[in-house]
């Protein structure tokens, strides 16, 4: 790994991964291709540990000429593909962009990699890698007594977001089987931590609670997600890049499965402890159930035996310590947060998603 193309590196996990890579690897050059959609920001890339080894390119992964040019110009030997539309609720209200970015965008990157690494033989094929970052949501929804998902669980996506990610996973595997492109795939559970856009559950609850705003719980709040601190996800991807087998898939998860309601109460309890004098204490009084997400997946759970035993990775952060670190980060980054929450497009999203839920309940 010398010249690594990271797509979506101005977003939540991508920016954390760039920090992680620059810290752990003293020589790697990072080329970060990001369109800076609503979810991406240069603010996420401030204070990088080795900024001279980070090159930012503003642009679209669907732009084939641009991606071909980056591959050649920077002699890319590794691609770690994060760029995507990622919010399930947005995929329900507007699926088209998910098809374009997640499916057509992945296709465009695969074509560029095939051209440069396989057709032009730019470098020995055993020195290159396309790593595709995917999600547990491709596997569908579990009943209470179902066993957890694992690498061989059949695909059963149920939202436009998860269907578009499933599609991209299939394309990546097809390029391995058909053309011999050296790929790996990871399917990870819900991440949380610094720089997560405040439309997602944990940062939304933290920031609304800090502002004394309602905490909107979809449906009965008994849905279950598996939560992983973002640095643990970055470490898992690094393990796959350095030790993973070509053509293989690795399931990643946090071994933390509270119901949404339990998780939100845990966030409220941490805030109560930090701010006993706040007029919002107890913060749980802000909890408000609202109309459910259409097609809401009930439960996710991930069996991470393979990555544990084959690559020696396991999550380091417990949910309690990870939540405390995350809450402190949001408390210390009011400027970052206010810049997003003050934007008209963010206010428009909150109105579009939450006002309709109020009236439907
Ligand atoms: P995010 O929404 O925070 O960031 C996505 C980034 O991609 C943004 O910087 C955005 O500007 C960029 N982007 C979007 N469209 C682009 C395009 N056409 N060209 C170039 N850049 C574009 O996403 P995230 O939560 O950091 O997720 C990153 C990846 O990890 C995604 O592929 C997602 O499916 C996957 N994933 C996320 C989670 C999670 O809990 N967040 C869990 C498992 C897997
Ligand atoms: O499982 C991995 C996936 O996790 C990633 O692939 C996605 O990119 C990421 O967005 C996330 O998807 P979820 O739909 O699970 O995350 P979200 O934060 O949107 O919601 C988590 C749970 O909280 C879900 O059951 C819906 C619920 N929820 C969410 C919001 C935003 C609420 O109850 N209220 C809310 O306001």
Q: Is 135 in the pocket of ligand 2 (CB under 6 A)?
A: yes
pLDDT above 70: percentage of residues in the chain: 99
Q: Is 229 within 8 Å of 192 (Cβ atoms)?
A: yes
Note the pLDDT tens digit of each residue in 70-128: 999 999 999 999 999 999 999 999 999 999 999 999 999 999 999 999 999 999 999 99
The predicted pLDDT at position 359 comes to 60
- Distance between CA 46 and CA 26 in Å, rounded? 19
Note the pLDDT tens digit of each residue in 215-232: 999 999 999 999 999 999
Residue 188 alpha carbon, nearest atom of ligand 2: 2
C-alpha 83 – ligand 1 centre gap (Å): 4
The predicted pLDDT at position 193 comes to 98
CA-closest residue to ligand 1 atom 44: 135
Note the pLDDT tens digit of each residue in 332-352: 999 999 999 999 999 999 999
- Distance between CA 336 and CA 341 in Å, rounded? 9
Measuring from each residue's beta carbon to the nearest atom of ligand 1, which residues come in under 6 Å?
A: 7-8, 10-14, 33-37, 39-40, 60-62, 82-84, 86, 101, 105, 133, 135, 165, 188, 190-191, 197
Q: Hey, which residues are catalytic here? A: 136-137, 161
Mean pLDDT (the chain, rounded)? 97
Taking the model in full, what pTM does it have?
Answer: 0.98
Domains and their CATH numbers in the chain:
3-189+228-255+299-317 (3.40.50.720), 197-224+258-295+319-349 (3.90.25.10)
CA-closest residue to ligand 1 atom 19: 60
C-alpha 88 – ligand 2 centre gap (Å): 7
Q: What is the DSSP letter of 316?
A: -
Task: Read off the pLDDT band of 356 (50, 70, 90).
Answer: confident
User: Closest ligand to 224 CA?
Assistant: 2
From the list 11, 31, 15, 23, the residue with the least C-alpha distance to 49 is 23
C-alpha 116 – ligand 2 centre gap (Å): 37
């Amino acid at each position: 790994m010398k010249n690594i193309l990271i797509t979506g590196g101005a977003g939540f996990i991508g920016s954390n991964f760039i920090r992680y890579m620059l810290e752990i690897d003293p020589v790697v050059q990072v080329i970060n291709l990001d369109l800076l959609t609503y979810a991406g920001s240069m603010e996420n890339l401030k204070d990088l540990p080795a900024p001279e080894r980070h090159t930012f390119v503003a642009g679209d992964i669907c732009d084939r000429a641009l991606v071909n040019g980056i591959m050649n110009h920077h002699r890319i030997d590794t691609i770690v593909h994060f760029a995507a539309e990622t919010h399930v609720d947005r995929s329900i209200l507007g699926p088209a962009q998910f098809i374009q970015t997640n499916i057509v965008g992945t296709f465009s990157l695969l074509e560029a990699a095939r051209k440069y690494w396989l057709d032009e033989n730019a470098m020995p094929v055993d020195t290159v890698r396309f790593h595709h970052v995917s999600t547990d949501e491709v596997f569908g929804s579990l009943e209470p007594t179902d066993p957890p998902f694992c690498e061989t669980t059949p695909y059963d996506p149920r939202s436009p977001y998860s269907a578009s990610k499933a599609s991209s996973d299939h394309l990546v595997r097809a390029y391995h089987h058909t053309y011999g492109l050296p790929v790996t795939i990871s399917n990870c559970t819900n991440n949380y931590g610094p720089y997560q856009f405040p439309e997602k559950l944990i940062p939304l609850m933290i920031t609304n609670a800090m502002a004394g705003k309602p905490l909107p719980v979809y449906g009965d709040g008994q849905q279950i997600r598996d939560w992983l601190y973002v640095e643990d996800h970055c470490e898992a991807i690094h393990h796959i890049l350095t030790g993973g087998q070509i053509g293989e898939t690795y399931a990643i998860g946090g071994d933390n499965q509270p119901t949404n309601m339990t998780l939100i109460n845990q966030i409220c309890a941490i805030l109560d402890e930090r701010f006993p004098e706040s007029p919002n204490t107890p913060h749980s009084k802000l909890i408000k159930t609202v109309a459910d997400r259409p097609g809401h997946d009930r439960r996710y759970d991930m069996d991470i035996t393979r990555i544990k035993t084959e690559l020696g990775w396991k999550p380091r952060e417990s949910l309690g310590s990870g939540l405390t670190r995350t809450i402190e980060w949001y408390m210390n980054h009011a400027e970052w947060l206010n810049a997003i929450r003050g934007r008209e497009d963010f206010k428009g999203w909150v109105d579009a998603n939450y006002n309709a839920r109020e009236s439907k309940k």
